[in-house]
Amino acid sequence: MYPWLSSLYTELVGRYDASKLHHGLLFMGPRDVGKGQLSEQLAKALLCKSETKGCDTCKSCLLIKAGSHPDLHTITTDKSQIGVDAVRLAISKVNQTSQLSGNKVIIIQTVELMSESASNALLKTLEEPTPNTYLLMTTNEPQRLLPTILSRCEKLLVALPNFEQSCSWLESIGVIAPTKTALLAHGSSPITFKNELEDPETKGFDEFTETLRKLKSGNETANRAALQWQSEATKVTNWLGQYWIEEYKKNKNTKAYGNYQACLSSAKRLNHPGLNKSLILNTLFGEITCL
C-alpha cells in the first residue's frame, strides 16, 4: 500500500475491531492520491477470515485476489455515468446472506458519476443498511454528490504526501525524485508523476521545460509550440498555470497572476469539444514569448 495511506488504514481497521466503523465511508481527495487502493485494502481487511486482516492466504483473501469474492461488489466505470442498474445489482447481492458468513462490501469508485436514480437507489441502503454491510466510496468531487448521500456517509479526507514523502516513495520504486516545481506541475501527486514517466505516448514535463526555454530565448514560436502540444492541451495548460503562479509568488507581478487566471479559464474551456485547441495554446504560449 502507498505509505501515506497507512495511518488512515490502520485507524479504520482499529475502529472496525472496536465495532466502531461507520457502514458508509466516503473517501474524498484529489486525483491520484490512492483512494481506490485504500478502499480495496479496507474491503480486503473487512472480508479477511484471519486475525491479521488482509492476510493474503485465507479463503476470502484468495477469492479477492482471483477477482471472484461473492461478497465483494465493485462498481467502476470508464463512461460518464454510473447507472441505476449497476447500483441495484450490487444492492440486491448484499441484501442476501453473506456467502462466506462474514461481511459484505460494495466499493463504488468515482461515486460522483452516479445518476440521480442510482443515487436514490443507494440512499436506501445507506439509510437502512443490511447487517454486516459496508459501502466504501471514493470521489474527487464530493460537491457533485446529492446532499442526502453526503449527510449519510462518514467523510474521510485522503491527503497527498508532502514533498519529502513523495520523493522517498518515488526513489523506493526506482524513480529519480522530481524537483518541487515538477511535482507541483503534476498536482503534487507522486502517482501522477510516475504514471506520466511510464507512459511513452505522452510528452513529459522535461519537454515542457524545454519548450519554455526555447520560447523565452526566441528559438521557438508560440504558434509552433501550440501545434506541438495541442494533443495534450489540458495538461500543458495546467502546467502553464503552475508556471505563472510560481512566477507570481516570486515577484508579486500582477501580469503573472493574470496569466495564471487565463490558464485556469482556458483549462475549463478546453473541456468543450470542437474547440480550436492550438488557437488557445497559441495565446497562452504567446505570453511566454512576451517576457
Whole-number minimum distance, CB 12 to Zn ion, in Å?
16
Looking at residues 108 to 147 of the shown chain, list those that interact with Zn ion (rule: CB under 5 A). none
**Which residue has cell 459496508?**
134
Alpha-carbon dihedral sign for residues 220, 221, 222, 225: negative
Q: In this chain, which stretch among 54-62, 96-104, 121-129, 192-200 interacts with Zn ion, using CB under 5 A?
A: 54-62
Whole-number minimum distance, CB 61 to Zn ion, in Å?
3
Helix (H) or strand (E) holding 124: helix 116-127
Q: Could you say whether residue 58 binds Zn ion (CB under 5 A)?
A: yes
Q: In this chain, which stretch among 55-63, 86-94, 106-114, 162-170 interacts with Zn ion, using CB under 5 A?
A: 55-63
Helix, coil or strand: residue 187: coil
Cα 128 to chain centroid, rounded: 29
Instruction: Please enumerate in sequence order all residues whose Cβ is within 8 A of that of 269, keeping only pairs 6 or more positions apart, or say none.
Output: 275, 280
Our CB check for Zn ion shows the closer of 65 and 268 to be 65
Whole-number minimum distance, CB 40 to Zn ion, in Å?
14
Q: Could you say whether residue 16 binds Zn ion (CB under 5 A)?
A: no
Pairing of strands 133-139, 104-108: parallel
Whole-number minimum distance, CB 66 to Zn ion, in Å?
13
Q: Could you say whether residue 100 binds Zn ion (CB under 5 A)?
A: no
Q: Could you say whether residue 288 binds Zn ion (CB under 5 A)?
A: no
Whole-number minimum distance, CB 35 to Zn ion, in Å?
22
- Cell numbers at 55, concatenated: 492476510
- Cell numbers at 63, concatenated: 477469492
Our CB check for Zn ion shows the closer of 47 and 111 to be 47
Of 43, 48, 87, 191, the one binding Zn ion (CB under 5 A) is 48
* Helix, strand and coil in the chain, % to nearest 5: 55, 10, 35
Our CB check for Zn ion shows the closer of 55 and 227 to be 55
Of the candidates 122, 95, 99, 92, which has an alpha carbon nearest to the alpha carbon of residue 26? Answer: 122
Q: Could you say whether residue 64 binds Zn ion (CB under 5 A)?
A: no
Are residues 185 and 205 in contact, defined by beta-carbon separation less than 8 angstroms? yes
Our CB check for Zn ion shows the closer of 35 and 53 to be 53
Q: What is the Cα–Cα distance from 90 to 84, expressed in whole angstroms?
A: 10
Our CB check for Zn ion shows the closer of 44 and 186 to be 44
Our CB check for Zn ion shows the closer of 55 and 84 to be 55
Of 61, 107, 145, 280, the one binding Zn ion (CB under 5 A) is 61
Of 37, 50, 98, 209, the one binding Zn ion (CB under 5 A) is 50
**Which residue has cell 446532499?**
147
Whole-number minimum distance, CB 50 to Zn ion, in Å?
5
Q: Could you say whether residue 55 binds Zn ion (CB under 5 A)?
A: yes
Whole-number minimum distance, CB 49 to Zn ion, in Å?
5
Whole-number minimum distance, CB 214 to Zn ion, in Å?
55
φ, ψ for residue 282, nearest 5 deg: -55, -45
Q: What is the Cα–Cα distance from 29 to 156, expressed in whole angstroms?
A: 8
Helix, coil or strand: residue 269: helix
* Residues of the shown chain interacting with Zn ion in the complex, contacts defined by CB under 5 A: 48, 50, 55, 58, 61
